[in-house]
Each structure stands twice: as structure tokens, then as C-alpha cells.
Amino acid sequence: MNNPSPTEAYHPVIATNTYATVILPLAVPKPYIYHVPEALIERIQFGVRVEVQFGKNKIYAALVIEVHSSAPEYGTKPVLSVIDEVPIINETQLKLWEWMSEYYCCTLGEMMDAALPANLKLASERRIVLSPVFDDNYENLNDKEYLIAEALGLQNEISIADVRKILNQKTVYPLINRLLEKKVIYFYEEMQEKYKPKKIACLRLREPYFSRPELLEEAFELCSRSTRQVEALMAFVQLSKNQKAVRKQEVYKKANVDNTVLKAMVKKGIFEFWEKEVSRIGGYEEELTEVQELVEQQVQALQSTKAAFKEKNVVLLHGVTGSGKTRVYVELIKEAIERGEQALFLLPEVALTTQIISRLRNNFGNQIAVYHHRISNNERVDLWKEVLVGKPIILGARSGLFLPFQNLKLVIVDEEHDSSYKQQDPNPRYNGRDVAIFLAHLHGAKVVLGTATPSLESYQNAKTCKYGLVNMRERFGGLQMPEIEIVDAKEEMKKRKLQSHFTSVLLEELEAALQRGEQAILFQNRRGYAPTLRCTSCGWHSECKNCDVSLTYHKYQHNLQCHYCGFTATLYKKCPACGGIELKLQGFGTEKIEDELKIYLPNAKIGRMDFDTVRTKNAHAKIINDFEERRLDILVGTQMVTKGLDFENVGIVGVLSADQLLQFPDFRASERGFQLITQVAGRAGRKHKRGKVLVQAMNVEHPVLKEVLESDFQGFFKREIAERKAFHYPPFARLIKITLKHKKPKVLNDGTSVFVKVLKKQFGKRVIGPAIPHLGRVRGQYLLDILVKLERDAKMLQKAKELIRDATRTMQQTKGFSTVRVNVDVDPI
């Protein structure tokens, strides 16, 4: 076996004047300085991880951001070891982290923790297990690596502290890093089932016809009494000339037959069904496909975008749903990589956009890599290293911003308006769209913001010529925008036409669509069966014991659940307050819609897509695949169904309760409502014929509904921007939301008084609150919100952040308030 590396031994401290400033993956206020032992001086450099002790016992993998000779005022500890041979980050990444930590009021340690893949963050409390791909081949392991592998063979898991005990040495991170690279070990939290590849339903000939095509005449003889079976076999033969795998759906379409015909042929021994595994994230075409010719509108959009790039760094591509924006993106990416540049394509939620991923992979093959939280930790590290050496195209969610790009020159932010770009918890609470623009600035890159429903901030920037503006006003192929009809649910209720939560108009249109062989999507932005269980006698309703929110009834689990903390309770049989048995479920979610649709449309095949049904990647891909393959007639879902879906056979889209979207107590409620309804409406009639959208509402006079009805974004923008200006809200003001938390309401109230006093002394009326938020208690913590509303002035914003830090320090240094938590959200949405 190999001898252990000399770097694994503890290095005696020989006085040097070399110091390393490092970031620890912790929420500490500033970087720390360690001195570098003489034995490590040649290996220490910017961007490598080093093993350091922090506190009395904890050991961390810290990141070196500067090597220098300036001794700090405090006594320094030594760097214990150098983990990496080459840097894992670059200077541009550090600049991004520094800007984000300053702008979003967080620490560099929190930035490091958010940005680095899990397997690059080593900490002493993590658990190690033997990798399932390790084949007991110990030949490539040195003595110490062998000892750890052997120990894991005897035990299910060990800690990093156990590794130190086994080896009887303090520095173990370089060894652990090598074992990770050799795929000998995994970290415990990574041991989860990987999502499976998408499968498509295919058809093939059975033996002997499969291997002896000359016997097909016998197969035709077997089908001779059924014209439809003969047509199906002829369709299969024609399709199989150009395709290795023939999809069942293509045979249905070409021969105009259904599944009963194919099943009969399976019984006769002619065909057999099989499932083909395809791209793990989407599409079914494995070979690269030629991109389609640009149509006139796309040519104009591409030319206008490139012309705008000569003067502007950011261009807003405002194209209606189905206008072909993605094809314009593809052309821009293609040109970028031909110049040897890197491109970043951001999506609000990669897990919900399988079709876009499929299209891009079909065009670019191995040049594109996908980065998001669903891929395994080891895959993330591998991809991190590929980007470091110049992987051309990265497609990802907001976490893709943190990759170590070398030559990034194009950034595309698709659906730029989407609230999923905003990180809510934990720190940094950043907006991926805004960070993308700053990242592009650091690299000298150009940015395309694409959407059918721009955020008011982005559109205002375009109107004031800060951004370039390119419009795509027509759907691809000249299709008309869907016909939109607002259905008065209140009037239907008066006339007793309302059946459960479905208007007669919606049910009739659904029935007609099914008879035409079309599919439908129904949107309700609330999951579960019913959001409230209430006693009709005394008014009691079920509430979470940890949060100020009603428990939602889930019929399939037959329990009550909190959607904030996960608390569950059994369904009450009688009222705990008055003992009555008149308990009633009120309201409706996606589960109830799915359940009751089966009553009104018993022959329809119905699927549901919400958080409960897509907990794994495979589950989501299966639902999308089933709908694409028309194994489902109706898809019921939350806002997941509004994003990245392009189905050619959807004739009807229904929005079941528009009022819930528009009556939320938030200044952005109208904007979000307009965006969601317009986006989900855009799923209708995208390929062959005009679709229809039915929007059910109690208040049909709401101005947003009229603007949606007329597809009037300009009218919506003009009205909404005037209101924002009148009441001094973004984009005419900067907002900082500060949330204070504590488990005791009195401590929270008194601590907040100290905090607010510091703020109001300097900012006066710019400070609004404190106020109890919409949910006053979450996960056992009571909450109070403070809103700081500022002029759009960089110096004022900087002063506010400094003041918030002062107020936090003053409050937490006051006796009794040190445990009050402060969360700062800059530019809340």
C-alpha cells in the first residue's frame, strides 16, 4: 500500500510572517486570520480550502480569500492543513459574494454556505457512510484511507471526529476529500434515492416478427378482419423506418386508433408494449436535432436584441405566451458558444421545466449541463469543476449563479417576473434576477430578461430606457391568443347553478373538450382538500399548535396538516371547544377538485400536480409525461401548472378562484394575480387551434380581471404604476422588511421597542411598524414586522443598512433581548 501523504500529519508551528484570511461557513461577522506554518506556505493560495480550528473543539474547512504578511491585533491559530491542490473559486465569485453580503445584509460565511456544493463544505459534525458504488477494491488506497474504508465496512456510519480517533491525528480533511473523490465514501445526508429517468410508452413487434420482418405478411393476415388493426400495423411499419423506438402515441395519431386496438394486437402476439428510458430531465430525442428555421417575428426579435446590446447591457424580451421566445434564446446561446463564451440560462424552478431542458439538450447535447438542488452532492461537485474549466452552457435555478464561470458572456433569465427567484429563508435573501444582472456586470456579459408578464420594476426600467425593450406580440404560427371568459360564480350561486366549486359553464366546456378529444388544465393556488375545519355551532376552527394558521385537511392521508411547520393532527370527530358534532370542512384545494371532478366527469382520467404529488423528481416527470402522452385528460394543479409547460392538445384552461389571488393583503397582489392568470391562460391552444380560458370569480368587476380579459398589459401597467407612485412603493421606493422573532411575546414586544427606537431616531416616518404580520406566529416563534421605506438613493440605502446593524447590536446587547432573532429582507417580494 502507498505511504500516507506528509500533509496528513500535524504540522509543528514554526513562526512565519505569512497569514491567511479565511471565510468560515458560519454566520460570523467577518473573515478570520490564521497564521500559515512553514510546511504549508508553498501550497497556500487564494481559493483553496484549509482545515482550521474555530472555538475550542470545532474544525472547519475554511476558504482562503487572501494570503498576506499583515499580522492581526489578536493572537492567531495555525492553519492545520491545505485541502485542495487548485482553487475551487475565482476572484469574480468572491466579488459577487462580497456584493451580496453587503447588499442583502448577511455575512460572507452565509454566502459561502449558500454558494458551495455540500461536498465542498466539510465540518466536524457530519456523518460518513460507505459509498454504494465502492466495490471493495482497496488497491488504490493508502494505509490511512484503508483504515477508514475498513471501519465503514464494520459500522454503518462514522463521524469526522471518529476518523480522527481511528487515525490518532488532528488533520483529516485532505484524506476525507480524497476518499470523496475516489467515490469510497458519501456524506450521510446525501444518501437519498436519485430520481429516475423519464420513460415513454413505446410499441414493438414481438418475435418472430421482430427478428424476421419477412414474416410480417402473416401478421397482416392475423389482422385482416379488422381494418383498424391493419391501419395500426401499417402506421407502425412506416414509423419504424425512421425511428428506432416507435411511441404508442404516434401510432394512435397516424392510424387514428386507440389503445383498445393495440391491446387486441398484443393479445394476438403481434405487438408488445415497452417503456424506453430517455433523458433524465426531459425530452425523448436522444440525438441532436437541427434547430427550426426562425420565423419573421423571431428574426426581428433577435436582430432587435442584438441591436439593443450595442447600447444596453440588459434587454427585456416581452413576448406573449407561445410567441417562441425560447427559440430566440437558443440562437443567442448558439452564437455565444461559437465565440467560445459561456452562457447561463436561469429558470425559476428547474424541477418544473422539463420541457425546456429537453429542447435545449436536443439542440446542444453534452455542451449543456443542468445544475439545481435535485442532483446529488457528488454530481454538483463534478459540475462545479466542469464550469471551472469552461463548460459552455449551464441551465439552472438561482443556485446556478454561484458557479465558477471563467468566460460568462450571456445570461438569460426566463420568466423574470417569477417570485421563485427570490430566496426567502435562510440568508442570503436574494433575488436571482437582480443578482444575475450584477453577475453579468462583473463578467462584462449581456442579459436577456424574458417573460410574457414583466414585473413592474423591469418594465419601468425598460420604459425609462435603463433596459432595452423588445416585443413579440404574436403567437408562434399565427395562432390567436386564447379566448378568455370571466364566469360570475356569485351569479351562478344565486341561480343555484353552482355545483360544488364548479360553475355550469366550466363543467359544460370541460365535457365538450373531452368529447373533442382535447385536454384541460384546472388551476387552484391551494393544495390539500379543504383549508379549514370549523364548528358550525360555536365557530371554533382547527389551528396549528405552533403557527397562527388553520390546519388543512388532506383526504388521502386523512389528517390535518400545517403547511408551515409540518405539524399533523387526526381529524376531530367532535368540537374540542363545545363538544358539538357539527364540524364542517370549508374551502377547497387541489385535492378536493380532483376528488369531485370524478363525480361530475366519471369517464375522465384526472391527475393532480402540487407539492404533495411531486415530492420527488420522478413523480413530477411522470405526471408531465402522462399528460403529454394523453394518459390523463385533465390536470389539476397549483401554480406549478403555470410554468414551463407546453402541451399541444390543451383546449380548455380553468382558473377556479381568481378572488383568492387578488384579495391577498399585499401591495403586489394585483401584479401577481395578473401574472398568474395570464401565465396559466397561456397554456391553452398553443399548437393547432385557439384555446379557451374560463376564469371563475365572485367579484367579476375587479379591474385586473378586465385587463386579463382584454390581454391588456399596457392598461394594467399604467393603472398599477400610478398607484405605486401615489403610495410610494417600488419601483419608486426601496423597501427593507425586518422581521423580529422570539418564542415569548413580551420579550419580542420589548426588544422590538428598543430596536425601533434606534431606527426612528434617524429615519422617522420612513420606518413603518412594528406590526403583526399576516401570520403572527410560525414554528413556535412570535413575529413582528418593521418596514423601512426609502427614497431610491444608494447612500440612503447604505445608511439604512448600517442603522439596522446598529439597532440589532443595541437590542441584543440590552439585557434580556440577546435571544431575539432579526431577519433582514432587502427588496422583499
d(CA 331, CA 310): 17
Question: What digits encode the pLDDT tens for the residues 768-785?
Answer: 989 999 889 999 999 999
Place 123 in a pLDDT band, splitting at 50, 70 and 90: low
Give the CA distances from residue 397 to residues 194, 196, 352, 355, 378, in Å, rounded to whole numbers and listed in that order: 18, 20, 10, 15, 18
Provide CB contacts within 8 A for 243, sequence distance 6+. none
d(CA 148, CA 152): 6
Contact between 696 and 759 (Cβ < 8 Å): no
Contact between 219 and 233 (Cβ < 8 Å): yes
Place 11 in a pLDDT band, splitting at 50, 70 and 90: very low
Q: Which three cell numbers stand for residue 235?
A: 402506421
Contact between 337 and 393 (Cβ < 8 Å): yes
User: Which of 418, 473, 356 minimizes the C-alpha distance to 642?
Assistant: 418
Same domain for 307 and 446, yes or no, is yes
| Per-residue confidence (pLDDT) for residue 10, from 0 to 100 | 44
d(CA 606, CA 367): 38
d(CA 412, CA 345): 5
Task: Say if 475 falls within a structural domain.
Answer: no
Task: Say if 557 falls within a structural domain.
Answer: yes
| Per-residue confidence (pLDDT) for residue 686, from 0 to 100 | 59
Per-residue pLDDT at 291 exceeds 80: no
Question: What digits encode the pLDDT tens for the residues 485-495?
Answer: 999 999 988 98
| Per-residue confidence (pLDDT) for residue 683, from 0 to 100 | 78
Place 618 in a pLDDT band, splitting at 50, 70 and 90: low
Question: What digits encode the pLDDT tens for the residues 248-286?
Answer: 988 988 898 888 899 999 999 999 998 886 543 333 334
DSSP characters for 793-814? -HHHHHHHHHHHHHHHHHHHHS
Task: Say if 381 falls within a structural domain.
Answer: yes
Same domain for 512 and 458, yes or no, is no
Residue with cell 364540524: 583
Task: Say if 162 falls within a structural domain.
Answer: no
Burial class (CB in 10 A: 0-12, 13-18, 19+), 394: buried
Tell me the residue range of the domain where 229 lies: 199-277
CATH number at residue 26: 3.40.1440.60
Same domain for 650 and 639, yes or no, is yes
Same domain for 636 and 580, yes or no, is no
Same domain for 640 and 502, yes or no, is yes
Task: Say if 415 falls within a structural domain.
Answer: yes
- Number of folded domains in the chain? 6
d(CA 594, CA 635): 9
CATH number at residue 696: 3.40.50.300
| Per-residue confidence (pLDDT) for residue 190, from 0 to 100 | 40
Domain boundary among 68, 90, 120: 120
Same domain for 457 and 492, yes or no, is no
Which range is least confidently modeled, 7-21, 81-95, 418-432, 564-578? Answer: 7-21
| Per-residue confidence (pLDDT) for residue 286, from 0 to 100 | 40
Place 641 in a pLDDT band, splitting at 50, 70 and 90: confident
| Per-residue confidence (pLDDT) for residue 364, from 0 to 100 | 84
Burial class (CB in 10 A: 0-12, 13-18, 19+), 723: exposed
User: Which of 644, 635, 688 minimizes the C-alpha distance to 516?
Assistant: 688
Contact between 828 and 737 (Cβ < 8 Å): yes
Contact between 404 and 388 (Cβ < 8 Å): yes
Question: What digits encode the pLDDT tens for the residues 58-108?
Answer: 788 899 999 999 989 888 999 988 988 889 999 999 999 999 999 999 999
| Per-residue confidence (pLDDT) for residue 409, from 0 to 100 | 97
d(CA 632, CA 606): 6
Task: Say if 182 falls within a structural domain.
Answer: no
Question: What digits encode the pLDDT tens for the residues 312-367?
Answer: 999 999 988 878 888 999 999 999 999 999 999 998 876 555 667 777 877 888 88
Domain boundary among 96, 120, 144: 120
| Residue 304: Cβ within 10 Å count | 18
Place 612 in a pLDDT band, splitting at 50, 70 and 90: confident
DSSP state of 550: B
Largest CA distance in the chain: 95
Same domain for 273 and 370, yes or no, is no
Strand ranges, E, within 16-57: 19-23, 32-35, 49-54
Same domain for 770 and 802, yes or no, is yes
Contact between 422 and 825 (Cβ < 8 Å): no
| Per-residue confidence (pLDDT) for residue 751, from 0 to 100 | 96
Which range is least confidently modeled, 299-308, 374-383, 622-631? Answer: 374-383
Task: Say if 218 falls within a structural domain.
Answer: yes
Per-residue pLDDT at 8 exceeds 70: no
Provide the residue type at 636 as one letter: V
d(CA 193, CA 685): 37
The β-bridge relationship of strands 19-23 and 58-68 is: antiparallel
Task: Say if 814 falls within a structural domain.
Answer: yes
The β-bridge relationship of strands 781-790 and 734-742 is: antiparallel
Which range is least confidently modeled, 2-6, 48-52, 92-96, 172-176? Answer: 2-6
How many helices (H) and strands (E) are present in the chain, helices listed first? 25, 34
Which percentage of the chain shows pLDDT scores above 90? 47
Most confident of 282-296, 361-375, 454-468, 549-563: 454-468
Question: What does the mean pLDDT of the chain come to?
Answer: 86
User: Which of 433, 278, 252, 435 minimizes the C-alpha distance to 354?
Assistant: 278
Give the end-to-end CA distance of the chain in Å, rounded to a whole number. 58
| Per-residue confidence (pLDDT) for residue 352, from 0 to 100 | 55
Contact between 44 and 52 (Cβ < 8 Å): no
- At residue 544, the 3 state secondary structure works out as coil
Q: How do the residues of the chain divide into helix, strand and coil, expressed in percent and rounded to 5?
A: 40, 20, 40
Same domain for 583 and 647, yes or no, is no
HEC sequence for 581-615? CCEEEECCCHHHHHHHHHHHCCCCCEEEECCCCCC
DSSP characters for 407-459? SEEEEEEETTT-GGGB--SSS---BHHHHHHHHHHHHT-EEEEEESS--HHHH
Same domain for 560 and 659, yes or no, is no
Contact between 279 and 361 (Cβ < 8 Å): yes
Which range is least confidently modeled, 233-247, 280-294, 655-669, 687-701? Answer: 280-294
Contact between 532 and 589 (Cβ < 8 Å): no
DSSP characters for 474-507? S-GGGPPPPEEEEEEHHHHHHTT--BTTB-HHHH
Contact between 297 and 327 (Cβ < 8 Å): no
Orientation angle between helical segments 173-181 and 143-154, nearest 10 degrees: 70
Q: How many CA atoms lie within 13 A of 399 on its CB side?
A: 19
Same domain for 627 and 562, yes or no, is no
Question: What digits encode the pLDDT tens for the residues 707-751?
Answer: 998 889 999 999 999 999 999 999 999 999 999 999 999 999 999
| Per-residue confidence (pLDDT) for residue 100, from 0 to 100 | 96
Same domain for 317 and 449, yes or no, is yes
Contact between 446 and 410 (Cβ < 8 Å): yes
Per-residue pLDDT at 525 exceeds 70: yes
